[in-house]
Amino acid sequence: MKPLEGIRILDFTQFMSGPICTLMLSDFGAEVIKIENPPAGDGTRGGNIIENGFSSHYATRNRGKKSVVLNMKDPEQKELFLKLAAASDAVIENFKPGTMEKFGITYEVLEKINPKIVYTSISGYGQEGPYAHRAAYDATVQAESGVMSITGEAGGHPTKCGGSIADYSGGLAGCIGTLIGIVDAQRTGHGRRVDCSMMEALLLLQENMLSMYLKNGIVPKPNGNRYPASSPIGDFMCKDGVPIMLNISTDAQWKNFAEALEQPQWLENPHFVSMKLRADHYQEVEAEVNRVFATLDSVDIAARLEKKKSIYGMINDYKAIAEHPQVQYRKSFVNAVYPDGTSFKVPGNPLRISGVEYQEEYYAAPLGNDTIDVFTQVADADTVHRIMDPVLAQVAEKQRAMK
């Protein structure tokens, strides 16, 4: 049995931050019912990789979830939602603040029909404040949060991270907040309103750099792959043209590193005897590392560093990641399979929990596939068919036109 079995989540999320939040809950047993607007559904049902009319983007973020279609502007369909909410543990949404209120859905409304409900909103800047109603995507939140200002080559232009760190950080924080609310509701009988800001999630991600600025007032700039508090941290080119990423920070790590490369004089150099001094004299440190690396191939250096348990990493592209022995051992990619057999290989869950068998294949739901089954659990079947059959017909027509 998975730890979240018996928990029902109503999922109004779309695109990335919200779907990552609900994906984590679904992976560990929660029944996640994704509510999509007919006739097109979540925007990621489009995308660059489409096979047999099905989307890889959608499968990556929404595998394992059920899909229902619902037009919240229709009073009868909204009533079906409220009946479902009365029998659910949480509602999660990531619309621009104020959107759900336009549908007449607020925490106060849901609290009256289900006191234990947890209502989680994930947004760019939070539900209140001068930026609350700004539209936000990952790149713009990276810019506003300061992450871009410290990312990129030294002296170069600020650069966003290649991964969608604002979306994912916000989604994971939203997942934690939802679980906190559910645990508290089980204990007290009363749910919580959870307000998650993607921007604040990225502020937390920068806690060390921000804390230094708040103390000394010195605005940090991009440093490429370097880190200003220690050295050598960064990528260094080996004799065979292959770079290796180093992260040598503590004095114990520096000792192991010097011994691995057979450079005992580094341990006697007065500029290298502490982490702070190595940071202050980083150019001298890096020049020495570059000198030694230029004489050795990457395989030799990696073997030396591994033997002394020095901290390093190869700079892998996606081909190398797909073939990576650790990724293969952990079965880090799983299959998301649509009912017709169309399958996409997608990233799996990073958590392994004792007593929970790691799942390698997940159901991927066509748009609206679970609509009738879900709503007949809370309403009369004839009523559900009368209300929803015309909507599902519109969805089917739209899907045929897209194929």
| CA–CA gap between residue 260 and residue 300 (Å, rounded) | 11
Give bridge partners of residue 361 from the DSSP assignment.
335
| CA–CA gap between residue 290 and residue 394 (Å, rounded) | 64
Half-sphere exposure of 21 (CA within 13 A, CB side): 37
| CA–CA gap between residue 338 and residue 362 (Å, rounded) | 9
| CA–CA gap between residue 51 and residue 58 (Å, rounded) | 12
Helical segments of 219-340, H only: 251-260, 275-280, 282-293, 298-307, 318-322, 325-330
| CA–CA gap between residue 230 and residue 248 (Å, rounded) | 8
Neighbour count for residue 365 (Cβ, 10 Å): 25
347's tokens: 């990233």
Active site residues: 167
| CA–CA gap between residue 184 and residue 193 (Å, rounded) | 12
| CA–CA gap between residue 140 and residue 128 (Å, rounded) | 18
Q: Phi-psi region for residue 213, left (φ > 0), alpha (ψ -120 to 50) or beta? A: alpha
Half-sphere exposure of 117 (CA within 13 A, CB side): 24
